[in-house]
Amino acid sequence: MKKILLLLGLVVSATAMAGVAEVRVGGDLSNRATFKDTDNTTWRINKDALKRGFEITGEYRTPVFNENLEMGGGIAYKYNKLSSKNLEGVSVKGLSSVPVYFTTRYNFKNDSEVTPYVKGNLGVAFNSGKIEAKGGASSVKFKFDSGIYYGIGAGIQYKNFVTDLSYNVNSLRTKLDVDLPGYKANSKFNTNHGALTLGVGYSFGL
């Protein structure tokens, strides 16, 4: 993780003289979170409990080799509400994520003012959130922590205005604590939270 952050810092420093700054806001069209238990069985967090979220993103990119290929870094804030409605004894703290990532974008330049593009992201996400169920002397708690962040996307830029569609996966490091009468256990595993997000933004040439 430290190496990724160091490399991101080097990329941003090396491209600080010229490039493009872009800001976007967006919302999830769909999202789901799955994990595997110790028996390698795949489980999914109930879609009624994990709500679609929103995100705010800032990126800085600079041309590499030619004007079509851009590389740089980005940071975002993303929030997905966790709901305990109709779940007695369950308390939740919404899933907050701050991805910090490298980004590479290829622009399909043409003679018009409309430029399609494709992109890829890779970095880390700093996460927080929990789900806890209590009943009498028993409790089960999921707590989410930082993990790898990656994704792909495509979009269209018209002049300085951007429409962006991306699918990103946040690999949440998850800690599970089980405390039952006569039985206690804890384990760690990854919860893969994938989201298809539609965003709009504005690009500033620097």
Dihedral (C-alpha) 181, 187, 189, 193: value to the nearest 10 degrees?
Answer: 30
Contact 191, 168 (CB under 8 A): no
pLDDT of the residue at 179: 87
Q: What is the DSSP letter of 5?
A: H
State how far the Cα of 193 lies from the Cα of 52, in Å rounded to an integer. 11
Contact 53, 95 (CB under 8 A): yes
Domain ranges in the chain are 1-129+146-173+192-204
For the four alpha carbons of 169, 146, 94 and 39, in that order, the dihedral sign comes to: positive
Q: Mean pLDDT for each 10-residue chunk of the chain (206 residues)?
A: 54 58 96 77 75 94 92 96 73 89 96 95 94 82 92 96 97 88 85 95 87
pLDDT of the residue at 15: 44
Contact 83, 45 (CB under 8 A): no
Segments of 65-137 assigned E as strands: 66-80, 90-107, 114-135
State how far the Cα of 124 lies from the Cα of 172, in Å rounded to an integer. 10
For the entire predicted model, the pTM comes to 0.82
State how far the Cα of 204 lies from the Cα of 206, in Å rounded to an integer. 6
Classify domain 1-129+146-173+192-204 by CATH architecture. Beta Barrel (2.40)
pLDDT of the residue at 183: 87
| Buried residues in 145-155 as b, exposed as e (16+ CB within 10 A) | ebbbbbbebeb
pLDDT of the residue at 76: 97
